[in-house]
Amino acid sequence: MNTIIIAEFIIYFLVIIGVGYMMSRTKMSHDVFLLGGKRLPGWVLAFSERATGESAWLLLGFTGFVFATGLSGVWVAAGIASGILFAWIFLSRKFMREADRYKVLTLPDYLAARFGEKANIIRWLATILIASFFVFYVGAQLAGAGKLFLTTFDISENVGILIATVVILATAFFGGFLSVVWTDMIQSIMMLITLCVLPIVALIYISTNDLSISASLVQAGPEFDSWLGGTTGFAIGILFFNNFSWFFGYLGGQPQLSARFMAMRNEKEAKQGIVVGVIWTLLAYTGAFLIGLAAIAIYKQDSFSDVETVLPQMIIDLMPPWISGLLLAGIMAAIITTANSQLMVVTSSVSEDIIHKTLGMKLSDRQLVFISRLTILIAGLTGMVIALTSDSLLYLVVSWAWAGVGGTLSPAILLTFFWRRYSSIGLIATITSGFIFTVLWISTPLDSIITSRFTTFFIAAIFGIVFSLLFPDKPSSHTKM
What is the DSSP track for 7-43?
HHHHHHHHHHHHHHHHHHTS---HHHHHHGGG-S-HH
Model pLDDT, residue 177:
73
C-beta neighbour count of 305 within 10 angstroms: 6
Question: CA 353, CA 135: separation in Å to the nearest integer?
Answer: 17
Question: CA 86, CA 281: separation in Å to the nearest integer?
Answer: 12
Sequential pLDDT tens for the chain (481 residues): 568 878 888 887 888 777 777 766 666 566 666 666 677 888 999 998 888 887 667 888 889 899 998 998 898 888 889 999 999 999 999 999 999 999 888 888 899 999 987 888 999 999 888 888 888 778 877 887 787 787 777 778 888 888 888 888 877 776 667 777 887 788 788 888 889 999 999 999 999 999 999 999 988 888 888 887 666 565 666 666 677 888 888 898 888 888 889 989 889 989 999 999 999 999 999 999 999 999 999 998 888 877 878 888 898 889 888 888 877 777 777 777 777 777 878 888 887 778 877 877 777 777 877 888 888 888 888 888 888 876 654 556 666 777 888 899 999 999 999 999 999 999 999 999 999 998 888 888 887 788 888 889 999 999 999 999 999 988 755 544 4
Model pLDDT, residue 285:
93
Model pLDDT, residue 429:
97
Helix (H) or strand (E) holding 402: none
From residue 308, alpha-carbon distances to 66, 257, 293 in Å are 10, 24, 14
Is there a domain that residue 479 lies in?
no
**8 Å CB contact between 251 and 414:** yes
Is there a domain that residue 422 lies in?
no
Model pLDDT, residue 56:
67
Is there a domain that residue 120 lies in?
no
Is there a domain that residue 121 lies in?
no
Question: CA 306, CA 143: separation in Å to the nearest integer?
Answer: 13
From residue 480, alpha-carbon distances to 111, 213, 416 in Å are 10, 57, 14
Phi, psi of 182 (to 5 degrees): -70, -40
Domain that holds residue 158: 3-108+134-394
What pTM did the predictor assign? 0.81
CATH number assigned to the domain comprising residue 54: 1.20.1730.10
Question: CA 113, CA 409: separation in Å to the nearest integer?
Answer: 15
Phi, psi of 231 (to 5 degrees): -85, 160
Is there a domain that residue 114 lies in?
no
Angle at 320 between CA 314 and CA 324, to 5 degrees: 55
Is there a domain that residue 139 lies in?
yes
Tally of structural domains, the chain: 1
